[in-house]
């Protein structure tokens, strides 16, 4: 007789601890070593699929899974799952964002120590029956500088462990939570260059996104000490493998510890294969999360979520849950878009300004719903939209898909604090039926000195206000400036002296660089304290294509152009 229980397919090695939870109510089928064709053939029988990083969950496989309700990734990265196709088919994708953090951090430390003490070389030597002690003199970690790029969950866990070794820890992460860094005795630096020059050990813990892809290439490696060692237990592609191999061969860098590669597994004749074979490289086959404990954690985490979903409840960490539920769509959709874009504007503008004020990304926000918005039944989608907007520009799309289910958890994990408030006082005063105000607080308990304001006074709150008109998101205030522009497209935002000729200057630089201006608005000063940059204005230009960093640098080298940022929405 056919089983009445829903069926779960597990084509990879997933820890038994979670699977035990499934056994009571579901039929589980562990089938390792299936080919893609075999998987395609059997998938129509299953309600749930549990994978790690090896199974390619393609659009074709998902479409063939006529009964599939959930794909669970026992780990963080869903790079191997076609999330867009799953969303279109109404299949929920869940993951375990925190279950393997400690494992990845400890593996980083393992590679750091193995590289420092020539563990693999010494081990291979003695196994060959040799005893060549003098060849393998290493270095100690105590008193050395550990430089961390990406002070997130894994990066800070590495820092906490490294404190025990007596290391001096510095980090570069423009979007980090300063108090969490200070609590882990991490000194935040303003540039990657500072880390490259100071590092004895250099480790990367960022997502693989446009700004981190190829982040370490020949130019960066050439700034490092010849005694420095470099580690990557995050994602392949952040260190240029060819450049690293050349630096190791030239002896301009002392060693590397690598767990992840641009293509996995690396092909035989690839640069990655040459790196792996290099005597100064300690390499592992993507073992960051491969501990019994981490596998138990991620297995229990995703199996619990599979049970929730198959019983009709909401999971904890859905990668593709909506920001907004269908019944709320009509009222909330334009505001969800507004708040998400305000968050994205905040991160890209304040986190990436070039010029006088510099970067000043903060992590404590007040989000106030003014006027008729104060009557909303639920603000959950708006909260989620803000978290998504703040984090999307600095996250890999597959690693961090923020939605109403996971927004609070993601914000907490990233050290972002959002205080929501409702008010009916200011909307009328400002001439709107409703608007949203986002205020990033100035208090920074950080190891960094606070960024001085233009007046040299302590930094002030950063404020963005927006409203919806005709279904479009508008910005009515940006910092000290009264604005009125549609928050859409590629925007170049320049702060400049409010004096004749500035628009021409900016237009000329952009024209010479082949950049078209589709729209331009000037935002006058309205909210500044006396003496605080009195003679200033903002210029907001919708541009195409997005200006390169060199163009922005040229702009701010022009007289009277104080700073500029690019915001792509």
Ligand X SMILES: O=C(O)[C@H](O)COP(=O)(O)O
Residue 235 known to be catalytic: yes
Beta-carbon count within 10 A of 490 CB: 17
- Give the residues across from 230 on adjacent strands: 202, 256
In terms of CB distance, is 254 or 398 closer to ligand NAD?
Answer: 398
CA distance 338 to 487: 8
In terms of CB distance, is 77 or 389 closer to ligand X?
Answer: 77
SS3 76: coil
C-beta of residue 533 within 8 angstroms of C-beta of residue 491: no
State yes or no: residue 76 binds ligand X (CB under 6 A).
yes
Choose which of 15, 53, 320, 447 interacts with ligand X (CB under 6 A). 53
- Give the residues across from 128 on adjacent strands: none
Q: Which residues have a Cβ under 8 Å from the Cβ of 111 and sit 6 or more positions away? A: 231, 233, 257, 258, 259, 282, 284
Instruction: Candidates 160-168, 238-246, 288-296, 549-557: pick the segment binding ligand X (CB under 6 A).
Output: 288-296
Angle at 136 between CA 134 and CA 139, to 5 degrees: 115
Q: Which residue has the tokens 């069926």?
A: 7
In terms of CB distance, is 307 or 407 closer to ligand NAD?
Answer: 407
43, 185, 192, 479, 482 from 346: Cα distances, Å: 44, 27, 22, 10, 16
Residues within the interface to ligand NAD (CB under 6 A): 76-77, 100-101, 104, 149-155, 172-173, 175-176, 205-208, 211-212, 233-235, 259-260, 286, 288-289, 394, 399
- 365-384 residues near ligand X, rule: CB under 6 A: none
In terms of CB distance, is 286 or 480 closer to ligand X?
Answer: 286
- What does 206 interact with, of ligand X, ligand NAD, none (CB < 5 to 8 A by kind)? ligand NAD
φ, ψ at 478 (rounded to 5°):
-135, 105
- What does 53 interact with, of ligand X, ligand NAD, none (CB < 5 to 8 A by kind)? ligand X
- What does 236 interact with, of ligand NAD, ligand X, none (CB < 5 to 8 A by kind)? none
Q: Rounded to a whole number, what is the largest CA-CA distance in the chain? A: 85
- What does 393 interact with, of ligand X, ligand NAD, none (CB < 5 to 8 A by kind)? none
- Give the residues across from 516 on adjacent strands: 544
State yes or no: residue 100 binds ligand X (CB under 6 A).
yes
CA distance 464 to 468: 14
Residue 148 beta carbon to ligand NAD: minimum distance, rounded to whole angstroms: 9
CA distance 116 to 98: 28
Nearest to 417 by CA among 395, 402, 439: 439
Single out the catalytic residue among 286, 414, 439, 444: 286
- Give the residues across from 501 on adjacent strands: none
Residue 264 known to be catalytic: yes
- What does 175 interact with, of ligand X, ligand NAD, none (CB < 5 to 8 A by kind)? ligand NAD
318, 327, 332, 488 from 469: Cα distances, Å: 32, 22, 13, 13
- What does 220 interact with, of ligand X, ligand NAD, none (CB < 5 to 8 A by kind)? none
Instruction: Candidates 70-78, 148-156, 266-274, 468-476: pick the segment binding ligand X (CB under 6 A).
Output: 70-78
Choose which of 18, 65, 266, 288 interacts with ligand X (CB under 6 A). 288
Instruction: Candidates 69-77, 366-374, 427-435, 512-520: pick the segment binding ligand X (CB under 6 A).
Output: 69-77
- What does 533 interact with, of ligand NAD, ligand X, none (CB < 5 to 8 A by kind)? none
Q: Which residues have a Cβ under 8 Å from the Cβ of 51 and sit 6 or more positions away? A: 10, 11, 12, 57, 71, 72, 73, 74, 80, 81
State yes or no: residue 289 binds ligand X (CB under 6 A).
yes
C-beta of residue 62 within 8 angstroms of C-beta of residue 84: no
Beta-carbon count within 10 A of 44 CB: 11
In terms of CB distance, is 286 or 444 closer to ligand NAD?
Answer: 286
Residue 524 beta carbon to ligand X: minimum distance, rounded to whole angstroms: 48
In terms of CB distance, is 102 or 453 closer to ligand NAD?
Answer: 102
Single out the catalytic residue among 30, 60, 194, 264: 264
Residue 385 beta carbon to ligand X: minimum distance, rounded to whole angstroms: 26
Residues involved in catalysis: 235, 264, 286
State the residues that interact with ligand X by CB under 6 A. 52-53, 75-77, 100, 286, 288-290
């Amino acid at each position: 007789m056919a089983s009445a229980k829903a069926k779960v397919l597990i084509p990879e090695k997933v820890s038994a601890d979670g699977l035990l939870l499934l056994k009571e109510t579901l039929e589980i089928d562990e089938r390792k070593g299936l080919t893609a064709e075999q998987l395609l053939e059997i998938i129509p029988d299953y309600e749930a699929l549990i994978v790690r990083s090896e199974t390619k969950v393609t659009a074709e496989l998902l479409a063939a899974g006529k009964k599939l309700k959930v794909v669970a990734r026992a780990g963080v990265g869903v790079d191997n799952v076609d999330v867009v196709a799953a969303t279109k088919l109404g299949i929920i994708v869940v993951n375990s964002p925190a279950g393997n953090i400690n494992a990845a951090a400890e593996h980083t430390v393992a590679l750091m120590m193995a590289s420092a003490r020539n563990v693999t070389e010494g081990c291979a030597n003695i196994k060959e029956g040799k005893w060549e002690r003098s060849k393998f003199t290493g270095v100690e970690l105590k008193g050395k500088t550990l430089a961390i790029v990406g002070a997130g969950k894994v990066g800070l866990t590495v820092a906490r462990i490294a404190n025990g070794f007596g290391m001096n820890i510095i980090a570069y992460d423009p979007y980090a939570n300063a108090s969490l860094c200070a609590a882990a005795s991490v000194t935040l630096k303003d540039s990657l260059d500072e880390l490259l020059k100071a590092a004895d050990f250099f480790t990367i813990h960022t997502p693989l996104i446009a700004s981190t892809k190829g982040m370490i290439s020949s130019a960066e490696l050439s700034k490092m000490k010849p005694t420095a060692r470099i580690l990557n237990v995050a994602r392949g592609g952040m260190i240029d493998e060819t450049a690293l191999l050349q630096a190791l061969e030239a002896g301009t860098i002392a060693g590397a510890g690598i767990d992840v590669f641009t293509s996995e597994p690396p092909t035989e004749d690839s640069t990655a294969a040459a790196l792996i074979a290099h005597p100064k490289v300690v390499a592992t086959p993507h073992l960051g999360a491969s501990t019994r404990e981490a596998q138990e954690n991620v297995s229990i985490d995703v199996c619990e979520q599979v049970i929730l979903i198959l019983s009709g409840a909401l999971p904890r960490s859905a990668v593709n849950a909506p920001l907004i539920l269908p019944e709320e769509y009509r009222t909330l959709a334009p505001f969800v878009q507004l708040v998400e874009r305000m968050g994205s504007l905040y991160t890209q503008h304040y986190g990436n300004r070039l010029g006088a004020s510099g970067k000043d990304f903060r992590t404590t926000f007040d989000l106030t719903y003014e006027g008729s918005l104060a009557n909303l039944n639920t603000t959950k989608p708006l909260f989620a939209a803000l978290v998504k907007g703040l984090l999307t520009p600095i996250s890999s799309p597959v690693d961090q898909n923020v939605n109403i289910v996971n927004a609070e958890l993601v914000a907490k994990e990233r050290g972002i604090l959002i205080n929501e408030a409702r008010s009916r006082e200011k909307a009328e005063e400002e001439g709107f039926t409703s608007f949203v105000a986002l205020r990033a607080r100035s208090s920074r308990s950080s190891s960094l000195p606070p960024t001085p304001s233009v007046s040299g006074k302590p930094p002030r709150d950063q404020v963005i206000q927006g409203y919806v008109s005709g279904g479009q998101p508008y910005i009515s205030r940006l910092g000290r400036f009264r604005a009125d522009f549609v928050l859409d497209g590629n925007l170049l935002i320049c702060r400049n002296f409010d004096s004749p000729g500035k628009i021409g200057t900016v237009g000329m630089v952009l024209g010479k660089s082949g950049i078209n201006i589709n729209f331009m608005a000037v935002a006058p000063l309205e909210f500044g304290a006396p003496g605080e940059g009195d003679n200033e204005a903002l210029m907001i230009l919708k541009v195409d294509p997005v200006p390169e960093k060199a163009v922005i640098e040229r702009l701010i080298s022009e007289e009277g152009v104080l700073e500029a940022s690019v915001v792509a929405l």
